[in-house]
Structure 1
Amino acid sequence: MSALSSSNWDRRNVLRAALGLTAAGGLAACGSNTGRSSGGSGSGLVQYFHAYGEAGTEQAIKRYAKAYSKANVTTNWITGNNFEAKLFSSLLTKQAPDVFEFHPQLQMVKSGQVADLSDLIDPVKDDFNPADIKSHTVDGKIYGIRMIDDPQFFYYRKSMLEKAKVDVPTTLDELLEAAAKLTTGKVKGVFLGNDFTAVQNPLIFSAGADTLNEKNEIAYHTDGVVEGLKKLRQLFTSGNVLLDAPTDFWDPSALDQGLCAIQWGGMWSMPVMQKALGDDLGIFPFPAIGSSGKQSVYNGGWSMFVNAKGKNVDAAKEYVKWLWIDQKKYQEDWALSYGFHIPPRTSIANGATKLKSGLPAEAVKLFTDYGHFDNIAFDQAMQTAFNDVIATSVRKNGNPEAALDTCDKKVNVELKKLFG
């Protein structure tokens, strides 16, 4: 069992709980007792983190906070499988955190939930990956500081592919063929996560499509995406896919323990997988789909935000600047000591010796060549709507076109809310 197995939350699934879920209430903020009357008031600051699976992460975040001399910073390390719901519900209460990690979301900018951090980032803006800056920028202002970039791709056992005389797949058709040849009595050909939702963004990108276009209109409803959904349905029903893994895609144990020959996962798992499998480990991007498709690597990751509706906005911004702008040693430690992530700061990434050779260097190259970033306008409700497409047309036998039509209606409602 890997270190990641301690977390039972599919923590980097692109399908996060819809913002609307929290409006109904009934979800209390979760975490350690701060010893103060409310989460975001008093003499200290409160920060929210989801429970990372990598060993040592909780201790590291608390160690950084303890080193900050200008305020007492309390960390709520939120375990369980619904970090988003707990975060959103807490933001509606007096228990709201001053600082929290999340992903860039236009809805949170439009509602005034997250503070403009341009003044913190502008002096070092050129040291950040431009795509990370773009994905956090609205009307020229930057909301949130990227902490880590998390490229996702397929891992595979080289020896298993060699034994079955299977080449590394470059198209989705080839992946289906490989899965069939690699499936034996106890080993399934491929694992794409327990409900296939982990690959929904790569499915869109590899079909040559996108979530939204530059005019903030639907861009995922294409013939290529329909074809991809049909292929995933074939995979799902083929008997060549691991469907009941003990843990989900974020955990490397399915491949490490020999349950499958190919597994979808993230760069964060690489150190644990290399320790288990050594040189028998390889990686490849999500394969191309259809005639206009291209291989893709989805970049997940986490960013730090300041609660603009909190009582300690200035103090929170000062802390965030100290930790995520000024303290490069802590930023490097966070990205490279508890799993592998790509530092969003170019100066740190350039000095990251752990990523300079072997499989980590290959992962960085895949990220550079094939990487796709989140669109800040494709919000929670939209992601959940596409989640339903996967459920209907892949896990069930629904018509992909009809499922996408239903998704379109939901997404257009959200787009109208955001853009009028």
Structure 2
Amino acid sequence: MTISRRALLAAGAGAALLTACGSDTGRGSGAGPELSQWYHQYGEAGTEQAVERYADAYRKARVAVEWRPGNYDQQTAAALLTDSGPDVFEGSPTLDQIRGGQVVDLSDLLQGVEDDFNPAVLAPKTYGGRIWGVPQVIDTQLLYYRKSLLAAAGVQPPATLDALVDAAGKLTTKKVKGLFLGNDGGAGVLGGTPLYAAGLQLVTADGKVGFDDPAAARALAALHRLYADKSLLLGAPADWSDPSALLQGLTAMQWSGLWALPQVQRELGDDFGVLPFPEDGSGAPSVPVGAYGAVVSARGRHQAAAKDFVRWLWVERTDYQQDFALSYGFHIPARVSLARKAARLRTGAAAEAVRLTTEHGYAQPLLWTPASQTAYQDALSRIIRGGADPESELRTVIRTVSAELDRVRRNP
């Protein structure tokens, strides 16, 4: 699992980067045109061989798979501006790429099955009533907790943000911290999750700032209380995406990804549970989700053939879709029907993760620009670690985000 799957970076690389990275790792045996398909470099063993196998099985075109190491999102953004980029690639098309005509409308591929795709991950790939990417799998983040440690301290799994703060304090001892949100205290990973838990949004459906509300300051102030109370684990050997802090007993609760669940289950057995980020005030539990999708480049020479391939692989071949999600790592299929019937997702913590994702999942909206993200994340860091006033910090962020949304509206 690489960070590139969860964060989009601005394009800044030139053609030299495009030729310096990547390798052709597979070529389909079909007739017809030759298509180039790009994937970022997955960490899960077997994924590369699986996507080569899918390409080899396609008969209407010859599909050459390229495995792209390095800063994949930056490579792809730069490649879309040239004639040497991929025909099909996995990614999350940005607003600029959509409005700049760099990617192809794929709405017709999902006719009759659109409702079967998880709406939380389909929404960020939808703009102007059109679909610009077909979701592949769902990655999500959850709160893991050690049942035995909570029981020993007489603590119930926290259902509210205040309860989380209290629980973290009670679970903190000389040897164990109550909660691990990452070595920066959570500023880098939590993003808008606390805002959604407070009943707010990053951007509203009508394109306005979604957190201009006192509830936002209250939620973020609670994160500083965790830091000030010294309930947070900081300086762990591995960061939040690795469950080792929980497994080694350094913390009683840890925020991490669904991909960590098989390892946690192997090492802890039944001594763990999973929770959403707990609700605050009049809000609701919050579960951040993300998903790369299959996207077609508008600079490709064989757009119709590329669309046909995407339809075949990510709409028609549900067996490959389930295989890709669950055989080489641990993800939720993007199709609701596949998630419901997958054997590995039917019981225990995995089934609970699917339920939480389905009921409480949210994805970063398409209108949330890199400038908005930077302003918010910098403010969140100052609030959590520096004790900066949340109301003052949020006023500054709101001005930045409002200006960004105005800019977006002025440049359709």
Normalising by structure 2, what TM-score?
0.88
Who is 2:401 aligned against? 411
Equivalent residue number for residue 87 of structure 1: 76
Q: Say if 2:321 is the partner of 1:331.
A: yes
Q: Deviations over 1:98-119 (max 9, x none)?
A: 2222235333211112210012
Q: Give the secondary-structure state (helix, strand or coil) at the position aligned to 1:366.
A: helix
Alignment of 1:333-348 (within 5 A): 333-348=323-338
Q: How does 1:104-183 map to 2 (within 5 A)?
A: 105-183=94-172
Native 8 Å contact 1:153 1:283 kept in 2: yes
Q: For 2:216, which of 221, 225, 232 is the aligned residue?
A: 225
Deviations 1:227-249 (A, max 9, x none): 12222122234332122233332
CA distance in 2, matches of 1:272, 1:407: 38
Aligned partners of 2:367, 2:391: CA distance in 1, in Å?
23
1:96 matched to which residue of 2? Answer: 85
Q: Does residue 377 of the first structure (1) align with residue 370 of the second (2)? A: no
What displacement does 1:131 show? 4.2
Following superposition, the deviation at residue 328 of structure 1 comes to 1.2
Corresponding residue number in structure 1 for 2:244? 253
Give the aligned partner of residue 261 of structure 2: 270
Q: Distance in 2 between matches of 1:272 and 1:86?
A: 31
Residue 189 of structure 2 corresponds to: 198
Residue 113 of structure 1 aligns with an amino acid whose one-letter code is Q
2:28 equivalent in structure 1:
none
| Deviation sequence 1:91-142 (CA, Å, 0-9, x none) | 3334322222223533321111221001211143243234444443222221
> Does residue 215 of structure 1 match 2:206?
yes
Matched, 1:48 2:41: no
Q: 1:387 to 1:78 in 2, by over 3 A?
A: farther
User: Does residue 10 of structure 1 match 2:34?
Assistant: no
The gaps in structure 1 that reach 5 residues or longer are 1-6, 36-41
What is the rounded CA distance, in whole Å, between the counterparts of 2:239 and 2:46 in structure 1? 20
- Aligned partner of 2:304 among 308, 314, 327: 314
Question: Which residue number corresponds to residue 347 of structure 2?
Answer: 357
Q: Identity of aligned pairs, percent?
A: 43
Alignment partner of 1:283 is 2:296: no
CA deviation vs aligned residue, 1:248-294 (integer Å, no higher than 9, x gap): 322222222322211112222212211121101101110122x3232
Cα separation, 1, equivalents of 2:8 and 2:183: 15
Alpha-carbon distance in structure 2 between the residues aligned to 1:395 and 1:85: 30
Residues 105 and 130, structure 2, Cα contact 8 Å, conserved in 1: yes
C-alpha change, 1:229 and 1:252, in structure 2 (3 Å) is same
Report the count of equivalent residues. 401
Partner Cα distance (1:24, 1:267) in 2 = 31
Distance 1:304 1:247 in 2: 31
Query: For residues 54-93 of structure 1, what are the structure 2 equivalents within 5 Å?
Result: 54-80=44-70, 82-93=71-82
Whether the 8 Å CA contact 1:12–1:250 is kept in 2: the answer is no
Q: Does 1:238 align with 2:229?
A: yes
Deviation at 1:77, TM superposition (A): 2.9
Which shows bigger deviation, 123-132 or 347-356?
A: 123-132
CA shift, 1:353, in A, is 1.8
Distance in 2 separating the partners of 1:245 and 1:92: 41
Q: Take 2:306 and 2:385, find their aligned partners in 1: how far apart are those partners?
A: 44
- Partners of 1:230 and 1:346 in 2: how far apart? 36
Task: For 1:199, give the aligned amino acid.
Answer: L
Shift of the 24–295 alpha-carbon distance from structure 1 to 2, 3 Å rule, reads: same
The match for 1:295 is 285
Task: Summarize deviations over 1:38-68 as a string: whole Å, max 9, x none.
Answer: xxxx963333323333332222222222322
State the alpha-carbon separation in 1 of the partners of residues 238 and 306 from structure 2.
Answer: 36
Equivalent residue number for residue 38 of structure 1: none
Residue matched to 1:28: 17
Do the aligned partners of 1:27 and 1:85 also contact (CA within 8 Å) in 2?
no
CA contact (8 A) 2:285 2:360 kept: yes
Distance in structure 2 (CA, Å) of the matches to 1:384 and 1:77: 29
Q: Please, which runs of 5 or more residues in structure 2 have no aligned partner? A: 26-31
Q: Pick from 165, 177, 181: which aligns with 1:188?
A: 177
- Decide whether the 8 Å contact of 2:12 with 2:74 is kept in 1: no
Q: Distance in 2 between matches of 1:371 and 1:226?
A: 22
Moved more, 192-201 or 88-97: 88-97
Segment of structure 1 superposing worse, 198-207 or 377-386 = 377-386
| Residues in 2 aligned to 1:333 and 1:252: alpha-carbon distance in whole angstroms | 24
